[in-house]
Structure 1
Amino acid sequence: MSASSSDRAALIETLGDELHQALVARAPIAPLSGRCLGLTIEDAYRIQERMLSHRLAAGERVIGKKVGATSKAVQSLLDVHQPDFGLLLSGMLYNTGETVPMSRLIQPRAEGEIAFLLGRDLVGPRLTVADVLASTDWLLPCFEIVDSRIEAWKIGIVDTVADNASCGVIALGHAARRPREVDLELCGLVIEKNGDVAATGAGAAALGHPANAVCWLANTLGALGVPLKAGEIVLSGSLATLVPVAAGDCVSMTIGGLGGCSIRFS
Structure 2
Amino acid sequence: MTTWSVDTAADVLLAAEAKRRDRGPITEEWPELDLPTAYRVQKRLIERKVEAGETVVGVKLGLTSRAKQERMGIDSPLTAVLTDGYVLAADEPVPLDQLIHPRVEPEIVFVMGKRLAGPGITAATALDAVESVHAGLEIIDSRYTDFKFTLPDVVADNASSARFVVGGKAVSPKSLDLALEACVLTVNGAVTDTATGAAVQGHPAEALALAANALAARGEALEAGQIVLTGGMTDAVFVRAGDQIGAEFTSLGSVFVTAA
Q: Tell me which residue corresponds to 2:148.
A: 154
The partner residue of 2:230 within 216, 233, 236 is: 236
Deviations 1:139-191 (A, max 9, x none): 01010111100111111101110100111100011111000122100111101
Deviations 1:216-237 (A, max 9, x none): 0001111222110000001111
Write the distance in 2 (CA, Å) between the matches of 1:232 and 1:183. Answer: 22
Partner of 1:198: 192
Which of 72, 83, 102 does residue 80 from structure 1 map onto? Answer: 72
Out of 180-189 and 163-172, give the one that drifted further.
Answer: 180-189
The two structures have a TM-score, normalised by structure 2, of 0.94
Residue 134 of structure 1: aligned partner: 128
Query: What is the CA-CA distance between 1:108 and the residue it aligns to?
Result: 0.8
TM-score normalised to the size of structure 1? 0.92
1:217 corresponds to 2:211: yes
User: Could you tell me how far apart the structure 1 residues matched to 2:229 and 2:84 are?
Assistant: 14
Aligned ranges 1:23-62 → 2 under 5 Å:
23-62=17-56
Q: CA deviation at 1:80?
A: 3.2
Q: 1:247 maps to which residue?
A: 241
Between the two proteins, what is the percent identity of the paired residues? 37
SS at structure 2 position matched to 1:95: coil
| Runs of 4+ with deviation above 4 angstroms | 72-76
Q: Please point out which of 111, 114, 117 is paired with 1:123.
A: 117
Say if 2:158 is the partner of 1:164.
yes
**Which of 75, 98, 102 lines up with 2:96 in the alignment?**
102
Q: Is the 8 A contact 1:73 1:240 kept in 2?
A: no
CA distance in 2, matches of 1:163, 1:115: 21
> 1:221, 1:22 → 2: CA distance?
27
Inter-partner Cα distance in structure 2 for 1:246 and 1:49? 31
Query: How far 1:81 sits from its partner (Å)?
Result: 4.5
Partner of 2:9: 15
Unaligned stretches of 5+ residues in structure 1? 1-6
